[in-house]
């Protein structure tokens, strides 16, 4: 065939392939192909922010490494972001820094956590961020590439390559990308960011350090207490316990959120119910060898272990009931997913067990 | 870092962590940093099992501490 079909640009496919292979050979990818970045393409990203390209976004002193706005932009472009997504990526870095675990080496841990980003506000609609059907799944460029921008930066700016500085035993699928938006339109409650003091007209990114997303089936019930116990039962599972307590973000499907709200429950009511019911008996903990804590690390272990000492619940004389949450604030609640089934999820987080979430505002386009 | 502050130091890790330990040494500009390794795991062993794993490396620990 001579030439390209009329109306299509002429490109040298071999040249594109050579560029992609070059990026892969240099170890600049997460295993998937990345978008090649030129200075002119990079400039389009940098135009999206008032922050200077050399401004440091986040430092990891223990690695002697830092990430600048410019490096974050390069990786966002490589991840496949459109330039207008970049303010969300920048807000994600601010939220990750505020969250605090990242700068203390959590991305190197054997636990294998991934950053989970939650987006609120008008930017969701502007960028086409998915908050509804398949919210944790694939198919939406903004979600896919904003989350991936963080991973590529972890690899390329901080050198956190698997089996090297990243010692994850198994990791989890969210290490490719994990960015959801809240389904504010189908939530019966104020949006997550409004609940935490932001204006509804602001856009925000909240960062969490997640270990897993646990699916909950509860299509059968219209009784809020039954649904609440199903959620609490998932939150309390003993397999989640390495420390004395845990934290969680419950992503309620709109149907479940409506069930609670229809019964007159506020978000705080759900939070309180889960807090009160996310408990294990002393026997259940003993059965898995987690009925005490190490006197050195405070990690859970058997009361028969030579380092064992009483856990906080025992010290406080709580009898046979051992809570996995240290406060109601250790449970965050968002609404996400489609209004089509009684399905929710518990995002198991490694993070603040109480206190406010790590949320940052997205710089507006007019800045 | 302790070594640079003048405190003789030896790092002991299990063989499962040799590669990341080496990567961290590179980050700190000390690619020649010497480690003592013991078999993995640690967390699930009894004190006598840990002692059995540590005994064979004690002379190596002393050698590194002494700057040998």
Alpha-carbon distance of A23 to A155, in angstroms, equals: 13
User: Which of A186, A175, A301 has its CA nearest to residue A244?
Assistant: A301
Q: Is A165 on the interface with B (CB under 8 A)?
A: yes
Residue with tokens 């997504």: A85
Q: Is B23 on the interface with A (CB under 8 A)?
A: yes
**To which H or E segment does residue A163 belong?**
none
* Residue A103 near residue A58 (C-beta atoms within 8 A): yes
Please answer yes or no on whether A63 and B27 come within 8 Å at the CB atom. Answer: yes
Taking 3-state DSSP, the helix, strand and coil percentages for chain B, each rounded to the nearest 5, stand at 45, 10, 40
Q: Is A64 on the interface with B (CB under 8 A)?
A: yes
Contacting residues for A205 by C-beta, under 8 A, at least 6 apart: A88, A91, A92, A94, A95, A117, A118, A119, A120, A359, A360, A362
**Dihedral-angle region of residue A105 (phi above 0 means left; psi in -120 to 50 means alpha; beta otherwise):** left
Domain carrying residue A36? 13-278+324-361
Q: Is A304 on the interface with B (CB under 8 A)?
A: no
Residue A7: predicted pLDDT: 82
* Residue A349 near residue A333 (C-beta atoms within 8 A): no
**Distance (Å) from the alpha carbon of A164 to chain B's nearest alpha carbon:** 5
Alpha-carbon distance of A122 to A203, in angstroms, equals: 6
Please answer yes or no on whether A306 and B47 come within 8 Å at the CB atom. Answer: yes
CA geometry: angle B14, B16, B22, nearest 5 deg:
85
Number of H helices, E strands in chain A: 12, 14
Residue A352: predicted pLDDT: 63
- With respect to residue A346, please indicate whether it lies within any of the assigned structural domains: yes
Nearest CA in chain A to B27: A63
DSSP state of A337: S
Alpha-carbon distance of A118 to A359, in angstroms, equals: 9
- With respect to residue A234, please indicate whether it lies within any of the assigned structural domains: yes
C-alpha torsion sign, points A70, A71, A72, A76: positive
How many CB atoms neighbour CB A297 within 10 A? 12
Alpha-carbon distance of A188 to B24, in angstroms, equals: 49
In chain A, how many domains are there?
1
- With respect to residue A313, please indicate whether it lies within any of the assigned structural domains: no
Contacts of A107 in chain B (CB under 8 A): none
Alpha-carbon distance of A55 to A363, in angstroms, equals: 15
Radius of gyration, alpha carbons of chain B: 13
**Distance (Å) from the alpha carbon of A31 to chain B's nearest alpha carbon:** 20
* Residue A125 near residue A201 (C-beta atoms within 8 A): no
> Does pTM top 0.95 for this prediction?
no
How many CB atoms neighbour CB A1 within 10 A? 4
Q: At what angle do helices A141-156 and A69-79 cross, to 10 degrees?
A: 130
Please answer yes or no on whether B27 and A306 come within 8 Å at the CB atom. Answer: no
- With respect to residue A312, please indicate whether it lies within any of the assigned structural domains: no
User: Which of A130, A149, A33, A34 has its CA nearest to residue A85?
Assistant: A149
Cα A286 to Cα A160, A163, A238, distances in angstroms: 37, 34, 10
Alpha-carbon distance of B56 to A330, in angstroms, equals: 45
Residue A367: predicted pLDDT: 45
Contacts of A63 in chain B (CB under 8 A): 27
Residue A63: predicted pLDDT: 93
Nearest CA in chain B to A105: B24
Please answer yes or no on whether A165 and B28 come within 8 Å at the CB atom. Answer: no
User: Which of A258, A267, A264 has its CA nearest to residue A188?
Assistant: A258
Q: Is B28 on the interface with A (CB under 8 A)?
A: yes
Cis peptide before B50 (omega within 30 of 0): no
- With respect to residue A8, please indicate whether it lies within any of the assigned structural domains: no
Take residue A102 and report the two structure tokens written for it. Answer: 């990242």
How many CB atoms neighbour CB A19 within 10 A? 15
Alpha-carbon distance of A116 to B43, in angstroms, equals: 29
Looking at the partner chain, which of A159, A164, A306 has a beta carbon nearest the beta carbon of B19? A164
Entry field: residues in chain A: 367
Residue B40 banded pLDDT, cuts 50, 70, 90: very high
Q: What is the pLDDT along chain A (367 residues), one digit of tens a residue?
A: 456 678 887 889 999 999 999 999 999 999 999 999 999 999 999 999 999 999 999 999 999 999 999 999 999 999 999 999 999 999 999 999 999 999 999 999 999 999 999 999 999 999 999 999 999 999 999 999 999 999 999 999 999 999 999 999 999 999 999 999 999 999 999 999 999 999 999 999 999 999 999 999 999 999 999 999 999 999 999 999 999 999 999 999 999 999 999 999 999 999 999 999 999 999 999 999 999 999 999 999 999 999 999 999 999 998 899 999 999 999 999 999 999 999 999 999 987 666 789 999 999 865 4
User: Which of A261, A252, A271 has its CA nearest to residue A339?
Assistant: A252
Nearest CA in chain A to B19: A164
Residue A356: predicted pLDDT: 85
**Distance (Å) from the alpha carbon of B41 to chain A's nearest alpha carbon:** 13
Q: Return the beta strands (E) in A103-232 as ranges.
A: 114-120, 179-181, 204-217
CA A365 from chain centre, in angstroms, equals: 24
Between chain A and chain B, the number of residue pairs with CB atoms below 8 A apart is 20
Residue B2 banded pLDDT, cuts 50, 70, 90: confident
Contacts of B45 in chain A (CB under 8 A): none
ipTM for the whole complex: 0.81
Q: Using the predicted structure, report yes or no on whether residue B17 has a pLDDT greater than 70.
A: yes
- Mean pLDDT across B38-57: 90
The SS3 assignment for A79 reads helix
Q: Is A312 on the interface with B (CB under 8 A)?
A: no
Best mutation target, B27, B31, B41, B44, to test chain A (most A CBs within 10 A): B27
Please answer yes or no on whether B17 and A167 come within 8 Å at the CB atom. Answer: yes
């Amino acid at each position: 065939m001579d030439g390209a079909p009329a109306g299509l640009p002429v490109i040298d496919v071999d040249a594109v392939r050579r560029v992609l292979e070059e990026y892969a050979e240099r170890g600049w990818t997460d295993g998937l192909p990345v978008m090649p970045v030129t200075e002119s393409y990079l400039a389009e990203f940098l135009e999206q922010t008032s922050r200077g390209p050399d401004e440091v976004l986040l430092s990891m002193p223990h690695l002697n490494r830092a990430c600048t706005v410019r490096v974050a932009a390069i990786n966002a472009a490589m991840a496949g972001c459109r330039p207008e997504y970049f303010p969300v990526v920048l807000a994600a870095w601010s939220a990750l820094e505020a969250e605090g675990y990242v700068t203390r080496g959590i991305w190197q841990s054997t636990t294998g956590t991934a950053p989970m980003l939650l987006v609120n506000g008008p930017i969701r609609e502007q960028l086409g961020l998915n908050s509804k059907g398949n919210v944790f799944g694939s198919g939406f460029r903004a979600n896919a590439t904003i989350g991936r921008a963080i991973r590529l930066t972890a690899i390329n700016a901080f050198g956190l390559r698997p089996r090297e500085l990243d010692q994850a035993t198994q990791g989890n699928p969210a290490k490719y990308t994990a960015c959801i938006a809240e389904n504010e339109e189908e939530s019966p409650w104020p949006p997550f960011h409004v609940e935490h003091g932001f204006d509804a007209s602001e856009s925000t990114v909240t960062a969490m350090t997640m270990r897993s997303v646990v699916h909950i089936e509860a299509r059968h019930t219209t009784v809020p207490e039954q649904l609440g116990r199903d959620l609490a039962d998932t939150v309390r599972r003993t397999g989640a316990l390495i420390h004395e307590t845990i934290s969680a973000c419950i992503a309620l499907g709109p149907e479940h959120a409506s069930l609670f709200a229809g019964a007159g429950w506020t978000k705080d009511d759900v939070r309180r119910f889960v807090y009160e019911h996310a408990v294990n008996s002393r026997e259940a903990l003993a059965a898995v060898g987690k009925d005490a804590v190490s006197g050195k690390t405070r990690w859970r272990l058997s009361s028969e272990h030579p380092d064992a000492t009483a856990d906080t619940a025992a010290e406080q004389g709580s009898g046979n009931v051992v809570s996995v949450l240290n406060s109601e604030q250790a449970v965050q609640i968002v609404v996400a997913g489609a209004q089509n089934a009684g399905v929710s999820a518990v995002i198991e987080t490694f993070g603040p067990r109480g206190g406010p979430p790590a949320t940052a505002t997205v710089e507006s386009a007019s800045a | 870092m302790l070594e640079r502050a003048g405190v003789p130091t030896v790092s002991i890790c299990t063989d499962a962590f040799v590669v990341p330990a080496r990567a961290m040494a590179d980050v700190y500009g000390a690619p020649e940093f010497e480690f003592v390794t013991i078999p993995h795991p640690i967390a699930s062993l009894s004190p006598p099992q840990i002692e059995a794993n540590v005994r064979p490396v004690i002379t190596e620990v002393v050698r590194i501490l002494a700057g040998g």
